[in-house]
Amino acid sequence: MKRIGVVGIVLKGDRETVMEMQSVLSDFADIIVGRMGVPRDGANAIALIVEGSPERVSALTGRLGKFPSLSVKSAMTAFEVTE
């Protein structure tokens, strides 16, 4: 069962954190269908549109949540995607 959702990320970190975060996002590229970033002074905001199982999205947010300089929230819709 796949669902559509949104993952919001606020990043307050240095270049090393950005590179590590990008590595995690690459590991989950199979569920990321869209990405938008907004640079801000002191913090950057990133919105991901995801399509995957709730477990897979949870794994992504769990990995991202381990970074102390990232704040991560997700919202999944009840809409199920058929393949």
**pLDDT tens readout for residues 34-59:** 999 999 888 899 999 999 999 999 99
Q: What is the mean pLDDT of the chain?
A: 94
Beta strand segments in 1-83, E: 2-11, 32-39, 44-52, 70-81
Place of tokens 């269908």: 33
At the fourth CATH level, the homologous superfamily of domain 2-78 is: ACT-like. Chain A, domain 2 (3.30.70.1150)
- Six-digit token pair at 40? 């801000």
